[in-house]
Amino acid sequence: MTLDQKLMAHEYVAIFLERVESTNFPTLSRRALLDKYKFMSLEAEGKPTVEEGEAEKMD
């Protein structure tokens, strides 16, 4: 994805979440909305782990 595409995806999800969470949407500016949901744009590291007992549920 290009940087513009990542920003557009981030904005789309932030707007979607804000509409679900807030009854009087839109209340935040574009910048405030992106700042509120900035955790979604963080890069993940490592591999997902499976807790004990969860492996049996997946089979």
Residues 6+ apart with CB under 8 A from 19: 25
* pLDDT tens digits for range 1-59: 788 888 888 888 888 888 887 777 777 788 888 888 887 776 766 666 666 665 555 54
pLDDT at 42: 67
pLDDT at 17: 85
pLDDT at 54: 58
> Which tokens sit at 4?
């513009």
pLDDT at 46: 63
